[in-house]
Amino acid sequence: MTTTPTLDGARPESAPAGRRLLRVGVAAGVATALVGGGLTAVTALPAEAATHAKASRISLSVSDRTYQRSKPPTLTIRSTSGGHSFSGKAVVFLGGKTYKKVWLRHGAAKLHLSKYLSLGKHTVRVTVYPSSSTVARSSATTSVTATRYSSRVVEQAVRYKGVRYVYGGSSPRGFDCSGFTRYVYKHATGRTLPRSSSAQRHVGRVVSRSHAKPGDLVYTPGHVGIYVGAGKIIDAPRPGKTIQVRSMWRTSWTFIHVSNSATTI
Question: How does pLDDT run across 146-171, given as a tens digit for each residue?
Answer: 887 778 899 899 999 999 999 999 99
Cα gap 207→227, rounded to integer Å: 12
Query: What is the mean pLDDT of the segment spanning 44-65?
Result: 73
Residues 6+ apart with CB under 8 A from 124: 60, 62, 75, 92, 93, 94, 113, 141, 142, 143, 144
> Tell me, what's the pLDDT at 26?
42
Q: Does position 50 have pLDDT exceeding 60, yes or no?
A: no
Where along the chain do the CATH 3.90.1720.10 domains lie?
152-258
Q: What is the pLDDT of residues 99-133, one digit of tens each?
A: 999 999 999 999 999 888 888 889 999 999 999 99
Whole-angstrom CA distances from 101 to 48, 89, 156, 240 are: 30, 7, 34, 54
Where along the chain do the CATH 2.60.40.1940 domains lie?
51-147
Query: What is the mean pLDDT of the segment spanning 13-38?
Result: 44
Helices (H), 119-239: 152-157, 177-189, 197-200
Q: Which residues of 169-178 are buried (b: 16+ CB within 10 A; e: fewer)?
A: bbeeebbbbb
The correct answer on CATH 3.90.1720.10 for the domain covering 152-258 is yes
Q: The whole model's pTM is what?
A: 0.52
Residues 6+ apart with CB under 8 A from 71: 115, 150
Query: What confidence category does residue 188 fall into, taking pLDDT thresholds of 50, 70 and 90?
Result: very high
Q: What fold does the segment set 51-147 form as a domain?
A: Immunoglobulin-like (2.60.40)
